[in-house]
């Protein structure tokens, strides 16, 4: 069983992420919601109907990009967009769509000649060809270099900004954090928690971290004396100060100025979704 | 059947872009026909078995090669589409699976027709048949037989897991069928159990129909063959619709 006890709700007009390691059940969950797979039990409503039974009436309202999908090797980009559009009653203008996804110059190129990023942009184009209300994107930046990934994030934000709802899966915590309005953390086929990335961090990783660089040997003792500080770890000239009081950063700054500590570095580190995942599951997502 | 013509036209273009596939589909039957024909013609004396094969066996062999190459190619393409997730992706659209299969059948029948026309042109030049050949009738019989045999391809294509598995499987199924079909020796000389086997294979009826029409029989004198092929076609198509897998 890939998925057991998964419950979440997606709001209109948001980017919602199913986040978890490979094999957690993200794709299975997504395919059930898309109507490509029948759940053994439980209920799903997509735009108010059961996606597996709804048929064509629902299919014309959603757009789908599948993980690791291919197209015919020798289909051109233009042909693909026109053909997929022809399956719907009122497709968007193919030329405008290719412009929007930066594929205009590639419209006569065969699918097999495209780069990974271009292929993904084409699949996004195909998911948008029927001007859907809900767009599903499964691991859409996997295998892309950071630059192509950022370009795709911009496109996805653009989709949301045009009023569509985006549901995506990712195993990249950074992607979830930067792109998603809300995320569901999935592990071993279960949803562990659902919230905004910021909300999840505040709830599960409330600690604050301040890193101070100083040669002052008495600094460690002074920071430890600050109320709310739980630990100060020294690593060469760098002190990592931990605490969970909301005023930790202010308290450390005041301590520095009161004692005239000479600092060569000062920055704060906020816990990330990665830390939330570690906290919730006891293991790193990269394991 | 929304999207049928668009998909058919698209697949024709895509197929024509692959030189090797195009050569295998159109070139091989024509070359086999010309090559064996030339070889046999130099050896054949009047009323010898070689001459008999040259007269009817060879054209039917070429026809069956066309049908089999259509099936193998169909099975492979569907398997590749399944492996690549193209079928699964199409499932999320309003397109019906029958439309996908129908489009591919139309493509195969079109290329079969093109090959047949080339064969006729080549055959006219080298081996003018002594009796005027009803080429339209033969063409109709060939397209009908191909469609019938393609239905077995549907079934294989519906269940076969990967493309690598598809081609050998199609070969294992079709080459014995062809061997027993009466093309190389009459079904009557087979031992009884093989004769039984030959009788439950659509290929046997396709060969009987094609050879008969090539010799000048009317289609109506082969209603039995036509009926059996149609029955196989409907049966296998129904089974494949039942077992069709998207992924």
CA nearest to B127, candidates B44, B63, B52, B41: B41
Two structure tokens written together for B93 = 């659209």
From the list A59, A71, A86, which residue is nearest B92 (CB)?
A: A59
CA nearest to B153, candidates B219, B114, B105: B105
pLDDT of residue A121: 92
How do strand A15-19 and strand A182-187 relate by DSSP bridges? Answer: parallel
Nearest CA distance, A83 vs chain B (angstrom) = 7
**Sign of the CA dihedral B5, B7, B10, B16?**
negative
Residue ranges per domain, chain A?
A: 15-202, 206-270
Confidence of residue A123 (pLDDT cuts 50, 70, 90): very high
CA nearest to A19, candidates A203, A207, A202, A174: A174
Chain A CB within 8 Å of residue B171 CB = no
Q: How far is A174 from A180, CA to CA, in rounded Å? A: 10
pLDDT (tens digit per residue) in B182-227: 888 888 888 889 888 888 888 899 999 988 888 888 888 999 999 9
User: Do residue A35 and residue B6 have CB atoms under 8 angstroms apart?
Assistant: no
Give the ranges where B17-162 is alpha helix by DSSP (H): 19-22, 28-43, 49-52, 58-83, 86-91, 97-126, 135-159
Name the closest residue on chain A to residue B17, using Cα atoms: A74
The ipTM of this complex is 0.80
- Tell me the average pLDDT across A148-172: 92
Most confident listed range (A79-88, B57-66, B199-208): A79-88
Confidence of residue B128 (pLDDT cuts 50, 70, 90): low
Chain B CB within 8 Å of residue A35 CB = yes
**Sign of the CA dihedral B48, B51, B55, B61?**
positive
Task: Indicate if the pLDDT at residue B42 is higher than 80.
Answer: no
The β-bridge partners of A165 are: A134
- Tell me the average pLDDT across B171-182: 84
Chain B CB within 8 Å of residue A262 CB = no
Tell how far CA A196 is from the center of its chain: 11
SS3 B20: helix
pLDDT of residue A24: 87
Name the closest residue on chain A to residue B16, using Cα atoms: A74
pLDDT (tens digit per residue) in A56-80: 889 999 999 998 889 999 999 999 9
| Mean per-residue pLDDT over chain A, rounded | 90
* Alpha-carbon separation of residue A62 from A29, B61, B89 (angstroms): 16, 49, 12
User: Do residue A68 and residue B85 have CB atoms under 8 angstroms apart?
Assistant: yes
Nearest CA distance, A215 vs chain B (angstrom) = 59
Q: Structurally, what CATH architecture does the domain formed by A15-202 represent?
A: 3-Layer(aba) Sandwich (3.40)
Give the torsion through C-alpha atoms of B150, B154, B159, B161, to 10 deg: 70
- Tell me the average pLDDT across B108-123: 85
Name the closest residue on chain B to residue A69, using Cα atoms: B85
* Residue A64 with chain B: CB contacts under 8 Å: 89, 92
Which residue bears the tokens 């062809």?
B178
User: Do residue B93 and residue A62 have CB atoms under 8 angstroms apart?
Assistant: no
Residue ranges per domain, chain B?
A: 4-243
Confidence of residue B53 (pLDDT cuts 50, 70, 90): confident
Chain A CB within 8 Å of residue B21 CB = no
Two structure tokens written together for A86 = 């022809």
pLDDT of residue A195: 95
pLDDT of residue A4: 78
* Alpha-carbon separation of residue A156 from A101, A120, A140 (angstroms): 10, 12, 10
User: Do residue A69 and residue B7 have CB atoms under 8 angstroms apart?
Assistant: no
Task: Indicate if the pLDDT at residue B30 is higher than 70.
Answer: yes
Task: Determine the number of helices (DSSP H) and then strands (DSSP E) in chain B.
Answer: 12, 0
Radius of gyration of chain B from its Cα atoms, rounded to whole angstroms: 18
Q: How far is B195 from B181, CA to CA, in rounded Å? A: 9
* Residue B88 with chain A: CB contacts under 8 Å: 36, 66, 69
Nearest CA distance, B68 vs chain A (angstrom) = 23
The answer to whether B165 and B79 have CB atoms below 8 angstroms apart is: yes
Nearest CA distance, A40 vs chain B (angstrom) = 18
Q: What is the interface size between A and B, counted as CB pairs within 8 Å? A: 60
Nearest CA distance, B89 vs chain A (angstrom) = 7
The answer to whether A117 and A125 have CB atoms below 8 angstroms apart is: no
Chain A CB within 8 Å of residue B6 CB = yes
pLDDT of residue A5: 78
Which residue bears the tokens 């709802």?
A165
Q: Structurally, what CATH architecture does the domain formed by A206-270 represent?
A: 2-Layer Sandwich (3.30)
pLDDT of residue B234: 92
The model carries a pTM of 0.83
User: Do residue A83 and residue B3 have CB atoms under 8 angstroms apart?
Assistant: yes
Task: Indicate if the pLDDT at residue A205 is higher than 60.
Answer: yes
The answer to whether B78 and B157 have CB atoms below 8 angstroms apart is: yes
The answer to whether A243 and A225 have CB atoms below 8 angstroms apart is: no
Q: How far is B10 from A69, CA to CA, in rounded Å? A: 19
């Amino acid at each position: 069983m890939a998925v057991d006890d998964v419950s979440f709700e997606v709001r209109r007009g948001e980017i919602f992420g199913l986040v978890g390691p490979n094999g957690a059940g993200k794709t299975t969950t997504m395919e059930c919601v898309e109507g490509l797979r029948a759940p053994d039990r439980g209920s799903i409503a997509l735009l108010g109907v059961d996606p597996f039974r709804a048929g064509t009436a629902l299919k014309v309202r959603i757009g789908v990009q599948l993980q690791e999908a291919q197209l015919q090797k020798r289909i051109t980009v233009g042909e693909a967009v026109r053909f997929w559009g022809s399956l719907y009653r009122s497709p968007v203008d193919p030329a405008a769509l290719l412009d929007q996804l930066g594929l205009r110059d590639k419209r006569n190129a065969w699918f097999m000649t495209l780069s990974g990023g271009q292929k993904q942009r084409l699949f996004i184009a195909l998911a948008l060809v029927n001007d859907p209300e809900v767009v599903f994107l499964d691991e859409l930046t996997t295998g892309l270099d950071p630059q192509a990934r950022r370009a795709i994030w911009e496109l996805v934000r653009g989709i949301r900004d045009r009023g569509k709802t985006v549901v995506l899966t990712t195993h990249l915590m950074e992607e979830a954090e930067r792109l998603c309005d809300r995320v569901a953390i999935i592990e071993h086929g279960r949803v562990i928690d659902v919230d905004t990335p910021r909300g999840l961090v505040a709830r599960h990783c409330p600690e604050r971290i301040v890193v101070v660089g100083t040669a002052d040997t008495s600094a460690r003792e002074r920071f430890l004396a600050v109320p709310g500080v739980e630990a100060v770890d020294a690593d060469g000239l760098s002190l990592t100060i931990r605490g969970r009081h909301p005023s930790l950063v202010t308290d450390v700054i005041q301590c520095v100025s009161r004692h005239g500590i000479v600092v060569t570095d000062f920055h704060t580190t906020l816990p990330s979704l990665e830390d939330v995942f570690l906290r919730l599951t006891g293991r790193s997502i990269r394991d | 059947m929304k999207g049928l013509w668009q998909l058919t036209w698209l697949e024709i273009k895509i197929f024509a872009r692959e030189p090797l596939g195009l050569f295998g589909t159109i070139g091989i039957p024509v070359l086999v026909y010309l090559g064996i024909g030339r070889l046999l013609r130099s050896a054949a004396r009047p009323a010898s078995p070689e001459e008999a094969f040259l007269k009817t066996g060879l054209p039917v062999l070429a026809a069956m090669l066309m049908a089999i190459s259509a099936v193998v190619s169909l099975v492979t393409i569907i398997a590749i589409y399944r492996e690549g997730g193209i079928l699964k992706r199409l499932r999320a659209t309003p397109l019906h699976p029958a439309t996908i299969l129908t489009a591919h059948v139309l493509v195969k029948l079109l290329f079969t027709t093109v090959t047949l026309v080339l064969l006729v042109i080549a055959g006219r030049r080298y081996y003018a048949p002594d009796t005027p050949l009803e080429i339209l009738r033969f063409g109709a019989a060939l397209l009908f037989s191909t469609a019938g045999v393609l239905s077995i391809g549907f079934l294989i294509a519906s269940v076969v897991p990967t493309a690598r598995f598809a081609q050998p499987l199609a070969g294992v199924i079709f080459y014995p069928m062809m061997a027993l079909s009466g093309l190389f020796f009459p079904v009557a000389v087979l031992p009884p159990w093989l004769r039984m086997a030959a009788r439950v294979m659509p290929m046997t009826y396709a060969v009987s129909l094609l050879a008969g029409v090539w010799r000048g029989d009317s289609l109506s004198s082969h209603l039995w063959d036509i009926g059996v092929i149609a029955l196989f076609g409907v049966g296998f198509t129904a089974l494949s619709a039942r077992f069709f897998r998207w992924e």
